[in-house]
Structure 1
Amino acid sequence: MKERLSLLAVVLMVFTSCQKKHEAIIITPEEYHKSVDKVIEVMIHDIFSPPVASRIFAYPNIAAYEIIAQKDDRYKSLAGQIHDLTPIPEPKTRDSINFEVAALVAHMQLDKNLIFSEDRIVSYRDSLYAVWADKNEPVFNASKAYGLEVAEHIAAWMNKDNYKQTRTMPKFSVNSEDPSRWQPTPPAYMNGLEPHWSKIRPFAIDSADQFKPAPPPDFSMEEGSKFYEEVMEVYEVRKSMIGKGDKSDEIAIAQFWDCNPYVSVTRGHLMFATKKITPGAHWIGITKIAARKSDADFAKTVYAYTKTSIAIADGFISCWDEKYRSNLIRPETVINEYIDDSWEPVLQTPPFPEYTSGHSVVSGAAAIALTDIFGDNFAFDDDTEVAYGLPVRSFSSFNQASDEAALSRMYGGIHYRAAIEVGIKQGRSLGKYIVDKLDMTKG
């Protein structure tokens, strides 16, 4: 009798073990949010420039989206819609693949390929792999294999976008004889970042100069000239804040939208960088907020990140094309040279030319994409900067947030009005073009 009971116990243990190995692997939108958060964490650690960071967002999201579009009839492939992207391989056996797992595998694989600190992604990835394999090893293995196959396909396309070639192109040459041209700014006096970014293959726009803006006001420090008026506006806005103290709303807005990953801090003979998110990462954070608030499912979450990251990436290509064309001097340099040598901006001046404002262009483009996905008048509380010691700010719409992001650059003392107003227009025109061009949803 005891032998029979022991045999029955063994059979039950084997049966239970087999049952455990064949549980359904349930993937929620939160797991995708966490994957995006992880790569942002690594990007902050590795310190990528805003344009390069936008590229890191775009490709992994596109890979995940293409996999989801294979499964979900609500979404259409981007193949043939964005430059040079061909259809991803179709799965050999659909029944054995969890497409959400495959999407995350592809996302993390490309994340790993695009950042420096690969070990941080690998550690996170392997922890998820262990959980999924424990639930259902056959499905996990099939899904992983398909995700890696798609990642390889996207990587081959990605590697032809001219990024590697721009790594070997010459540094930006500063023209110190022309008073209108950009000069390196304190405290680090860094070289101009990514002067060849306009040569990167765009995603949806036709070319880097498709949304070429009107040129900035002509450089002139004569009283009454348009340029002089804009310089004095930046100067006076900063002076007005001094009387209000550090608690002014203008300073709060400037700091909230700073998003400068290159802030250098000098203490004695030491100089080090404080680490922050980029403008693109801030809008990716807003995408997460909107997806959560609207209770978006996994597929819509991936779709939202993908469309927004394409708008951000093309926004940087368009903006950087103009920055190094107009090559305009920053307010800090002009004001110190002609008006007040002790004047300092609220924010540290980023190391590249002034016109147009990158945050304005990218915010305008991202806001249009997000409005298309989640609707106009989508109110939200933006807690993206809480991790950096800044309070939540609330907005009635994505466009209102983009207006504030743009204006923050004047409050910060790093942009003139023309760069802000023309920049937001440039970004919104680009965003509308992308929304109208990309046919991503059915019905």
Structure 2
Amino acid sequence: MKITIRHFSVFVVFAAVIFLFNACNPDNNTEPSPYDLVADQDAEVTQAWIGLFLEIDRYSKGYRPGPSARALAYINFAAYEACIKGMPGFKSLRELYPDLNLPAAVQKDDYHWPSVLNAVYATLFQKFFPSDAFLDGYADEYLFRIVELQQTFSETYREKVGGTIYQRSEDLGTAVANAVWDWSGEDSFGHNAYLNPNPSSYTPPTGPGLWQPTPPDYTPALFPSWGKVRTFTITAADKLANQPLTFSQLQTSPFYAQALAVRNAVDNLKFNEEWIAQFWSDDYPGLTFGPATRWISITSQVLEKENANLETALYTYAKVSIALNDATIAAFHSKYTYNVERPVSYINRVIDSDWQPATASTPAFPAYPSGHATMGAAAAEVLSHIFGYSYGMTDESHKGRQEFLGMPRAFASFYEMAEENALSRIYLGVHYQMDADEGLRMGFDIGRKVNEMPFK
């Protein structure tokens, strides 16, 4: 077939039109969006919001230990889920929770993931921490800080990505946050529990060796129903600790021996032991953040040390927070199942009526197992799974504090940190050795359950 010059010219023009149409059609554009992958973003927005959480938790009211862990879990779960479209190596967990009606990103649309996250954090911080969730005198400052941080990132991101992508991203983050908050509201035992941490309707059981409020202030039971709060992954069987030692006041009994060991430890503290006790305490609102949030502080230090990208930060915070949430629930379920009295009660009645623990007051709930130990072990197992079982670090959570012995301490592994954290409660005089041992066992098991969740 002979092709004339005229036919050839028409063909060239037609081909050029097709090329230009395809080039201008976004559906046929193969150039990836600069915001496609969460892993390509730095973790600045997440680290800033988590840093603010560390401050808020210090001055929150009715939040330690359980509600802090729960808030962290819901916030970091929402952050992870909101960005899952941009994390191709990870899976959504939404199918694990049939009652959760979670919106999803539109596959063909572009999103700026830091803008999505800024909306998630701002929305949930405002919902979890209204004005009545703070100690007196701190609400105005931290409610302003929440709005200020949101606006700072909003202005930066809107200018960077333009109004269309920014607004789409903000809308997604807000929608996911609201859906997670609605889901939180379906958990009657956990939702807004900070409003009534010491319910007057609860009366502790009485009997030999059973917990009763402790001196000097005899605070009523704290969160006696926390064991009924919704978990993310553990089952009812996972929530129950092994049986504690049989109660006895006989001087030849193992129970007496453990109480005597607590008395002797507190009365003969060396400097390093006192340092350990104060370093890990995190018991007092207004002084430090709580014991669950302490492990988020540790997580943040690791992520900063590793210069982790946004994807790694979201994954790590979600897993650690879920582990802390479930560990706290398990510890409190077991505490109020066994109702083991605190060392101060036993020692004052059986061994030494004038003895006092090394801390101003004993936590207002039963002893067994140790919540610090359970939370610490769960977090340590998750962190070890992500960063390695021989990962060494120096914990600077309380660096520069003068009110207590908070100088940084170095550790060869997360397990070593968890074990020292558990031991610290014996040095303070608020736990028996069995509390620490069983808390560690439970916590490590819970951490392994979280590691088995289908994140990937």
Common fold: TM-score over 0.5? yes
1:133 aligns with 2:147: no
Match of 2:304 among 282, 292, 316: 292
Say which is worse superposed, 249-258 or 111-120, in terms of deviation.
Answer: 111-120
**Equivalence for 1:221:** 249
Change (3 A) 1:195 1:261: same
Match of 1:111 among 125, 138, 144: 125
**Equivalence for 1:66:** 81
Shift of residue 290, structure 1, vs aligned partner = 1.4
Aligned-partner Cα distance in 1 for 2:230–2:349: 38
> What is the aligned-residue identity percentage?
29
Shift of residue 387, structure 1, vs aligned partner = 5.4
CA offset digits 1:383-426 (Å, max 9, x no partner): 01225441111111111100111111111111001111011001
CA offset digits 1:34-92 (Å, max 9, x no partner): 10111221122123221010011011111110122111102111112357445532237
**Equivalence for 1:231:** 259
Aligned-partner Cα distance in 2 for 1:34–1:330: 38
For structure 2, list consecutive stretches of 5 or more residues without a partner in the other structure. Answer: 1-33, 131-138
**Equivalence for 1:173:** 203
2:378–2:445 contact (8 Å) kept in structure 1: yes
**Equivalence for 2:451:** 435
1:340 aligns with 2:352: yes
Aligned-partner Cα distance in 2 for 1:387–1:149: 40
Paired amino acid for 1:172: Y
Paired amino acid for 2:93: L
Match of 2:173 among 131, 147, 161: 147
Paired amino acid for 2:330: S
Aligned-partner Cα distance in 1 for 2:217–2:210: 18
Shift of residue 212, structure 1, vs aligned partner = 1.5
**Equivalence for 1:43:** 57
Map 1:87-98 onto structure 2 (within 5 A). 87-91=102-106, 94-95=109-110, 97-98=111-112
1:54 aligns with 2:69: yes
1:369–1:431 contact (8 Å) kept in structure 2: yes
Aligned-partner Cα distance in 2 for 1:255–1:126: 37
Change (3 A) 1:358 1:164: same
Paired amino acid for 1:238: V
1:251 aligns with 2:251: no
Match of 2:268 among 214, 218, 240: 240
Aligned-partner Cα distance in 2 for 1:421–1:122: 43
1:361–1:424 contact (8 Å) kept in structure 2: yes
**Equivalence for 1:191:** 220
Say which is worse superposed, 193-202 or 131-140, in terms of deviation.
Answer: 131-140
Q: SS where residue 96 of structure 2 aligns? A: coil
Aligned-partner Cα distance in 2 for 1:317–1:407: 21
2:102–2:176 contact (8 Å) kept in structure 1: no
Aligned-partner Cα distance in 2 for 1:360–1:217: 17
Q: SS where residue 301 of structure 2 aligns? A: helix
Shift of residue 165, structure 1, vs aligned partner = 8.6
Change (3 A) 1:285 1:165: closer
Shift of residue 328, structure 1, vs aligned partner = 1.1
State the TM-score, normalizing by the size of structure 2: 0.82
1:157 aligns with 2:183: yes
**Equivalence for 1:268:** none
2:45–2:117 contact (8 Å) kept in structure 1: no
Q: SS where residue 378 of structure 1 aligns? A: coil
Paired amino acid for 1:323: K
Structure ID, larger Rg: 2
**Equivalence for 1:384:** 397
Shift of residue 223, structure 1, vs aligned partner = 0.8
1:51–1:197 contact (8 Å) kept in structure 2: yes
State the TM-score, normalizing by the size of structure 1: 0.85
Match of 2:426 among 396, 410, 419: 410
1:91–1:146 contact (8 Å) kept in structure 2: no
Aligned-partner Cα distance in 2 for 1:53–1:387: 24
2:46–2:117 contact (8 Å) kept in structure 1: no
1:102–1:146 contact (8 Å) kept in structure 2: yes
**Equivalence for 1:356:** 369
Q: SS where residue 410 of structure 2 aligns? A: strand
Aligned-partner Cα distance in 2 for 1:104–1:125: 6
2:115–2:154 contact (8 Å) kept in structure 1: no
CA offset digits 1:252-276 (Å, max 9, x no partner): 00111101135xxxxxxxxxxx432
Change (3 A) 1:82 1:430: farther
**Equivalence for 2:90:** 75
Q: SS where residue 297 of structure 2 aligns? A: helix
Paired amino acid for 2:367: E
1:83–1:202 contact (8 Å) kept in structure 2: no
